[in-house]
Amino acid sequence: MSNALQSMNPAQREAVLYLNGPCLVLAGAGSGKTRVITQKIAYLINECGYDARGIIALTFTNKAAREMAERIQQSVEKKRLKGLTISTFHALGVRFLREEAVLAGLKPGFSILDSTDALGVIQELLATTDKGRLRSVQQQISLWKNALITPDDSEKIAQTPDEMDAARVYRSYDATLRAYQSVDFDDLIVMPATLMSTNDEVRERWQRRCRYMLLDEYQDTNVCQYQWVRSLTGLRDMFTAVGDDDQAIYAWRGATIENLAKLPQDYPALRIIKLEQNYRSVATVLDAANQVISRNPNLFGKKLWSTLGQGEPIQVVVMDNEEAEAESVGMRISASRFERKARWKDYAVLYRGNHQGRLFEQTFRELRIPYVIAGGQSFFDKAEVRDIIAYLRIVANEEDDPAFIRAVTTPKRGVGQASLTALGDTATQLNCSLFDAVHDELAATRIAPRQLEPLKVFVDFIRNIQWRSGRGRTDGGAATPAEGATELLDELMKYIDYERYLYDTQEERAAQSRWQNVLELTNWLKRKAQEDGLTLAQLVQHIALITMLERSEDDEDPDAVRLTTIHASKGLEYPYVHMVGVEEGLLPHFGKDDEYGDANKDAEALEVRIQEERRLMYVGITRAQFHLTLTWCKKRRKAREDLIREPSRFISEMGLETGVKTVVDPFSGMTPKERLVRLKEMLQKKG
């Protein structure tokens, strides 16, 4: 037995060694599930003679996939890892559809629309700028797709006006994507699952490849993912699913805890192994978490425990209002950091909704507390930045259909949805990009001259920029010098006339803010081109890499307090956690404005919601390693009105006997200036 296996606890070791059929590993928070998955892959390859090509490990985030890959490299020789698949569900979906494009009704070079591009298609179909309505329709279509509900089925089951609205758009949205030869994020799972269930040849081909499958965060799978997994593993039923029914917190995006409940029914020979030893948290934290989650119906029954000691009592602090809450939390963190000789990044502030984070940002800036927002919007995710980058993407690659659609319709050029759909049909028939289809004779027979002319003007302009930027310019085999990136960028921006577009479509303050972001982008691009001596074509080729690096800045792990939603904190851990706004109406959250819709009309639906909110509370509690503080406010302002608040039911459910101590805010009633004086006094005494 390897040293890695010997160092595992008995339950972990059993989970790694079991290979007599399907296996469900119920992995409590902090119980070492990633270690089990990676060691099982190593065991399959090193000890059982499995070819890495036959092993597929699936998870939900690129970060988790990278972590698995890095850990496995420490246990298996590099040459024996060739062909191993460790990826997200969606990355496997891309690979599947690239291979099976023809049978899926796609061209090999199909495009993938991200959420923003897909929302643009829905906006054209709905002919509205109401962001709330657009997102509601987009989410409903996504939920239907994830549940394998077709446009025909959606029309039959739609009941509310919003659902009927979405069903009407769903059919046209689906047809538009097919015409564009594009897929959205959900299609990356829906289409492989559907093709494998209807095509024997494809199903058998992929089943032969999948000798063993490992599934991470199984409680987060939706109906479609469950169906696809069943198809992939159907030949042998050899898989290990790792999940935790107590951490199922994504019902609002289609995940269903029923997938865990169905496993013993669909696989009677299923082996269930429970990982209950927690390697993260002290006993007071785990006792509180166990007490809270025990109020929920439990599918399999488990109880976390650890050998890390009892720990300090959990503190529940009563605040006057949200301003006092933010200031007090900031000061308590400052004092604790000084007292414990800790780092800023040892602290996290968790909240139910993103809107709660704004006040903490403002307060932390005033208190000079460094912070980072986990899951905050990237600069490169801003709509105005993406608009300009779409033009640069099409300059770099005219096959990029989503970039073409975004650029040609922003600003509007008299090109509507009907023209783009006709162009998409033309491109499909010719098996070419939308860009190349514009000048084909077939397009002229399908699109009226008035709508076709602006498309031709756009394509001709982009081709001119491509040519002058150095793409494909040769004279007798010798490259012709490209024009400077700065000059071409200026010409491109003049053509787009984006500043005028913003002021025509936005309120003045919003337009000004967005235009500043565009100027920041273009100035940065020019500076990059000059510093590195890049042509526009070379610069554009680097944009994907640049945006990827920008989005991974969190990996640098700066010494700063983490501000994050509880949802975004799942899978993470922090020595000292402050969970704020633990009040009725916030946590648990109920009301029309949350992502569940109005469930108050249905007692059963409300109870289902409370159970998921309780699981969210459980996730928040179990992020803490050594100490947990909860805060709630007596009053909270909403729409210029002070609302009286009540502590969350989950606080009492934690049980006073678990080491929970309620205290009054020590800074209560003080002005911000008085609070700062008091904090300095506290720090001086501790010094």
Q: Which residues are catalytic?
A: 33-34, 216-217, 247, 623
Q: How far apart are CA 463 and CA 276, in angstroms?
A: 61
Cα diameter, the chain? 85
Distance between CA 107 and CA 427 in Å, rounded?
10
DSSP for residue 378: P
Give whole-number Cα distances, 345 to 103, 359, 469, 559, in Å. 50, 19, 45, 5
Closest-CA residue to 45 (of 207, 209, 211, 204):
211
Token readout for 409 is: 């319709």
Distance, in Å, from the CA atom of 636 to the CA atom of 452, rounded to the nearest integer, reads 55
DSSP classification of residue 345? G
Report d(CA 466, CA 473) in Å as an integer.
9
Strand pairing category for 23-27 and 271-275: parallel
d(CA 36, CA 255): 23
Angle at 627 between CA 624 and CA 629, to 5 degrees: 90
Instruction: Provide the 3-class DSSP secondary structure of residue 433.
Output: coil
Phi, psi of 642 (to 5 degrees): -85, 120
List the Cα angle 177/178/179 in 5-degree steps: 90
Q: Where are the beta strands (DSSP E) in 263-337?
A: 271-275, 314-319
Q: Which amino acid is at 37?
A: I
CA dihedral of residues 31, 232, 256, 251 (deg, nearest 10): 90
Antiparallel, parallel or unpaired: β 347-351 and 574-579: parallel
Distance in angstroms (rounded) separating the CA atoms of residues 211 and 649: 47
